[in-house]
Structures are given as C-alpha cells and as structure tokens.
Structure 1
Amino acid sequence: MKRRIIFPLALLFTFLTQGQSTKEWIPLFNGKDLKEWKASENPGTFSVVDGTIKAAGPRAHLFYQGELQNHEFKNFEFRCQVKTMPGSNSGIYFHTKYQEEGWPSKGYEVQVNNTQEDWRRTGSLYGIIDTRETYVKDNEWYTESITVTDKRIVVKINDIVIVDYTEPEDPVRGEGGKARILSQGTFALQGHDPGSTVFYKDIEVRILE
C-alpha cells in the first residue's frame, strides 16, 4: 500500500522539477519558514509571522529559490493574499533572478501600494501600465494574481482585471530597463523601505504549458 502512495508522489515531484505543466495550484511558501527563499541585502526585512511573510525594514527582496521548476517559470498563474499597512509600498516580481543589491533589474514588477506617496497603485505593471486608481484598502486581505502566457501579462486584484498587456516584438524601455522583458525566471517579494509593512500569505503558482 505504501508503494502505491510513494511512487506517484515521486513521479509528481519529478514531473514538476523537470518543468512540465500541471493544473494543480502548488504552494511556494509553507507558512512556517523561508527555507525555499533567499533575501538580498537586508535579510532581516523579512520574517514569518502567524503563517505570513512580513516585509518591514530597509530595502530588500525575497527571491523564491526552491526546487519547483528549478525556480525558473515561464508561463504560469501566480496568486497570493496581500495585506498592506497604511502608507506602505511593496511589489511582486516575476521572470526575475536573484540580485544581491538594489531594485531587481530583470523581469517585471507588479505594484503593491494603496496609500503610499508613489502614485502608481496596487496592480500596476510598474513603469509599463500604471494605474492611479485604488481598488483595495489598507488593513484588509486581498488577492493579487499574475498570469503570463507567452507574451501576454494579465494582472488581477480580487478578480478585477487591472492590466492586460501584450509585450510587443521590440519593446521600448528607458535607461536601465532593458531587462524589463518577458523571458523566464523566479518570483520575488519586495521590502521597499523602513516605513512600509506588508504581509503575504497563500503564495501559490499553477504551471501552464
């Protein structure tokens, strides 16, 4: 009986780590620790509090470095629950890679910001398709989701489409933004500044072909 259980689980693990597609939602955060994640420049900015990832402190980014897909994702659906404290800024990066210092240069950022001074609000595809509208409130959990299929990016906040963007063949990017294009890579959460406190939980992904 044990063999019948273990063998399919082993196959599923191989299936996922080799980059195959699955219709299942797979958690990226176990709610207990950050063993599959790696923080840059100021690791103390991130902590696990009551089953959530808390981002609060000097600038830092927390990169998923786990075995799923060898932390290289191309086409996917990503979703998580987010809660911002008043005046807080954060972000979710995708198609990025670990970077020791500074703002990640590779991939895209989806904004997390409901009331902080930056006018780009939650759900913006930062610097590409930005919104001034605020769709959610501080101190409340909401769902932020990102779907990438080939050259198309769809960002939703609580099932409301905020961004539906198709990357052109030769995207024009400003200075320092040449790597702000679709390719493949991992996910990262942003710790923006000491005045910002943001919580993340139920972080999961579904791999698409």
Structure 2
Amino acid sequence: MANKLFLITLCMILTFGCSKTPSSDEWITLFNGKDLDDWTVKIHHYDAGDNYGNTFRVEEGMLKVRYDQYDFSDEFGHIFYKTPFKNFHLTVDYRFSGDFEENAPSYALLNSGVMFHSQSAESQNKDQNWPVSVEMQYLADLGDGKRTTGNMCSPGTNIEFNGKVYPKHCLSSHKKALPKDQWVTAELIVKGPKITQLINGEVVLVYSNPTIDAKDQMVKGAAAEFTQGGKALDSGYIGLQSEGHPIEFKNVRIRLLE
C-alpha cells in the first residue's frame, strides 16, 4: 500500500509539479505595456532604481526612452528585467524617433540595443558606465546605407566568431540598418554557448562562448567579481538600453529553451 501511494504521489508530481515552468512553446511577456513594475533602471552616475529624469517611461503601450527632463551628456542607462535567464528566445520590437541629444557622443546617434548575460542593475556601482554583458546592437540608417543593425558589442566581455576569439569591441552583421521611425523586430536565441541574432526574421549573425574580458578598458567602475578574465557567461539579466537617442520598445517577450 505504501509503495502504491508513493507511485501515485510521484505520478502527480510529474504531471502537475512542472506545470508552472513554461515550455519552449510558451511566450512570456516581459513588458506589459502598462508599467515598469518588473524592471529596474540603472543610469550612469545614479544608484540602481533611480529613473533619473524619467528616462524610461510607459506611454501609449510602449516603453519609451526620453531625455526631455535633463541635458544628456553621458547618462548612459539600461532598464533590466527582474529575472536572469540562461537559454532563451527573446523578441523585441524597436523604433528610433525624435532628435539626437547634441551633447551625447557621436557614436550614440540612432544607436541602442539589448544587453544579455548581464550583471544585475543592483550589482553595478553608482559610477559604472556600462554593465559587463553582451549586447545585440540596434542601429538606424544615417542615410548613406553604410550602417548595419543586429550587430554584437561586448562591454567587458569577449565572444568567439568562426572559432576564434573576436578581437574587436563590435562585430557587424550583414543586415543593412533600416530607416528611423520604422518598427524593427529583433530576435535573440541563446542555446548553450551558441548565440543567434535575427532582424525581421532573418538570421544576421551567429557567434558563441561569451566570457569576461579582464583587459577590456571600456567598462569603468565594475566590482572585482565582474572582471574575472576568462569566466564563462552562460546566463544573466536582460536590459534595454538608453544611449542618447529617443527610442521606443514594445512586444518584449521571451520563451525558455531547454
């Protein structure tokens, strides 16, 4: 009788116990279009949780990045979802709009992105400029057709491309950047060490094996635990970027992969 009861209990656990864990077919909405309750802001020179100047705001069902309440110079910011992720498929719709902040660095023109395998907002020091992470970079066309979007940038990190450690900070995709004011769907698929980036359903870049780069001079002010050279990055937080140009995000969703 005891064995029978054990088997029945085990069957119930197997049947119902994992029902709260989303399968690979289920999409989880990260941004609900109403508020930022599940997100934490971290802006350069400010503590985690301080949404300085109302930089990140929700309007018309979109997550907007705006600078109309202060003069932007180097207040680079990110807004991080509350939960870290490991293997996942992320999709984000983005659109650049408005005017570039004239005091921002020139490279930030029509430039933003999503950070992943990132340290949390709370783990970043007040004057830390960028999170140690990997970035899927979003760019818009400057009118000359030279830019690409869906690139990879690596603040404080390294990645491998074609079997070798990639020596530069950013790796360009083959996808031409699209015009400002146009909605673009960006997707990021992370399965183990392999990372695939897509723009509007098209694979634009594949790379692998992100690790911490102790020699990278781009990130300033990170704690020692995030500067351990060679440490593999296989999970972390997801953050949407504020870099000096107004941008909108919507349809931020994720599905978990085994």
After TM superposition, the score normalised by the length of structure 1 is 0.77
Q: Cα RMSD between the aligned structures?
A: 3.1
**Does structure 2 conserve the Cα–Cα contact (< 8 Å) formed by 1:106 and 1:179?**
no
- When residues 131 and 157 of structure 1 are mapped into structure 2, their CA distance, relative to the original with a 3 A threshold, is same
Aligned length: 188
Partner of 1:3: none
Q: Does 1:72 align with 2:84?
A: yes
**Does structure 2 conserve the Cα–Cα contact (< 8 Å) formed by 1:107 and 1:181?**
no
Partner of 1:50: 60
- State the distance in 2 between where 1:115 and 1:9 align: 50
Query: Residues 113-128 of structure 1 correspond to what in structure 2 (within 5 A)?
Result: 113-115=139-141, 121-126=148-153, 127-128=169-170
Unaligned runs of 5+ in 2: 1-14, 44-49, 99-108, 154-168, 219-228
In our comparison, the structure showing a higher alpha carbon Rg is: 2
- State the distance in 2 between where 1:163 and 1:85 align: 25
Deviation at 1:175, TM superposition (A): 1.8
Q: Does 1:191 align with 2:210?
A: no
Q: 1:27 pairs with 26, 29, 37, which one?
A: 29
Deviation at 1:129, TM superposition (A): 2.1
Query: Residues 1-20 of structure 1 correspond to what in structure 2 (within 5 A)?
Result: 12-13=19-20, 15-16=21-22
Partner of 1:155: 197
**Does structure 1 conserve the Cα–Cα contact (< 8 Å) formed by 2:174 and 2:205?**
no
**Does structure 1 conserve the Cα–Cα contact (< 8 Å) formed by 2:95 and 2:184?**
yes
SS class of match (2:152): coil
Deviation at 1:122, TM superposition (A): 2.0
Query: Could you tell me which amino acid in structure 2 is paired with residue 189 of structure 1?
Result: L
**Does structure 1 conserve the Cα–Cα contact (< 8 Å) formed by 2:92 and 2:187?**
yes
**Does structure 2 conserve the Cα–Cα contact (< 8 Å) formed by 1:55 and 1:197?**
yes
Deviation at 1:158, TM superposition (A): 0.3
Q: Does 1:90 align with 2:112?
A: yes
**Does structure 1 conserve the Cα–Cα contact (< 8 Å) formed by 2:79 and 2:241?**
yes
Deviation at 1:46, TM superposition (A): 0.5
Identity %: 28
Deviation at 1:136, TM superposition (A): 1.9
Partner of 1:61: 78
Deviation at 1:142, TM superposition (A): 1.3
**Does structure 1 conserve the Cα–Cα contact (< 8 Å) formed by 2:113 and 2:137?**
yes
Q: Does 1:139 align with 2:149?
A: no
Query: Could you tell me which amino acid in structure 2 is paired with residue 125 of structure 1?
Result: M
Unaligned runs of 5+ in 1: 1-7, 66-70
CA offsets 1:33-80 (integer angstroms, 9 cap, x no match): 000001113612100111110112342110101xxxxx1211100001
Structure 1 residue ranges (4+ consecutive) displaced by more than 3 angstroms after TM superposition: 8-13, 100-105, 170-174, 176-181
Q: 2:209 pairs with 161, 167, 180, which one?
A: 167
Q: Does 1:206 align with 2:255?
A: yes
